[in-house]
Structure 1
């Protein structure tokens, strides 16, 4: 029987982590340079210096590899703990701006078409990626929930608001990639943050599915909004 010391196991783990990092670094560079479809395991092996057979051992398949690349890029600039520690939504959006400017942020959208049209692993993995983004925003909202809020109502509203915020972030991100000179990225992100902050109380006070009262709408004698549009 061969006995491997704890020191030996740690060394093996370190080698495995180093191989994984080198594969991810090479894949991120090649996906950004050539695109997902034009990059092969052979290309990644040559760029990383890691044997081709090690790639599926770490990531199972190409779909798993590309999602690992995307998730690492997100976690590097917007780690999960940031969602709970950041005091203001505007500061959290600064992290999103850094992601857009990171150079390889197009990876977020690179597999979107396949995720929308497919039903296999890519779609499932992209769903998990979006769920993680929404979950982080829910954590931020929950950390700022007032003690007086009804937990059940607040939880549902936080889920809906996180989806809306994530959609806004992804939409601005996409526009900045496709048409970067059409608007100022920081101003667009801060505008969304300011609008949301202004109406933050409605997240917990308005039941899900009910539109908040228009603050600027004139009132009738019974207190109802008068619609002029």
Structure 2
């Protein structure tokens, strides 16, 4: 009986985190209410403070979930790393990063620290998948990871706002051309 209760509690928590992530991506953190999250998850809104304490605690759970998923959001480091990056841009969950960015850059934002952790996980994912020897000579791998994460966020934002104006295949070809020593360009 206790095992079933634990499983039910874990499932409720998972449903709430999933619903919150989708709503935060769609509406933003501030514009999403407990009622919105509970309705989407199909769970009592009283479950949110029980599981997470408050809305910021729920955001922390969403970010933790995304941090855990960020490195695994790409397939294992096999195949073309640039293809993996472009696949990441196309993922619906990537929209969450863009939506949270608008709130995270504000001075005193309660989500700033959490967003910084998310960026760190994305940079680690890049570093794990694009070997230093694939970069042009003299390129700092960590600086490249910062640049690529920034480019991914920027490309994704532009693509979401005006998909007809952003040709992702052309973006990928251009990125590949900028990395002449990169995989697939030897």
Structure-1-length-normalised TM-score:
0.64
More helix by share: 2
Q: Say if 2:144 is the partner of 1:182.
A: no
Partner of 1:85, secondary structure, is coil
Could you say what the CA RMSD is over the residues aligned between the two structures, in angstroms? 3.1
Which of 129, 141, 146 is the aligned partner of 2:118? 129
CA distance, structure 2, for counterparts of residue 118 and residue 67 of structure 1: 18
1:15 corresponds in structure 2 to 8
Q: Say if 2:83 is the partner of 1:94.
A: no
1:4-49 residue CA offsets vs partner (Å, 9 max, x unmatched): xxxx554333212210222133324444554433321123223323
Which of 87, 99, 103 is the aligned partner of 1:110? 99
CA distance, structure 1, for counterparts of residue 60 and residue 175 of structure 2: 27
CA distance, structure 1, for counterparts of residue 103 and residue 26 of structure 2: 19
166-175 or 20-29, which deviates more? 20-29
Residue correspondences, number: 179
Gaps of at least 5 residues in structure 1 are 1-7, 147-153, 202-229
1:48 corresponds in structure 2 to 41
Please state how far the C-alpha of 1:97 moved relative to its aligned partner: 3.4
CA distance, structure 2, for counterparts of residue 194 and residue 56 of structure 1: 50
Q: Which has the larger radius of gyration?
A: 1
Q: Which has the higher contact order (CA 8 A, sep 6+)?
A: 2
What aligned pairs does 1:71-86 form with structure 2 within 5 A after superposition?
Answer: 72=65, 79-80=71-72, 82=74, 84-86=76-78
Gaps of at least 5 residues in structure 2 are none
1:181-203 residue CA offsets vs partner (Å, 9 max, x unmatched): 1121232134213422x1459xx
CA distance, structure 1, for counterparts of residue 87 and residue 68 of structure 2: 11
Structure-2-length-normalised TM-score:
0.76
Partner of 2:84, secondary structure, is helix
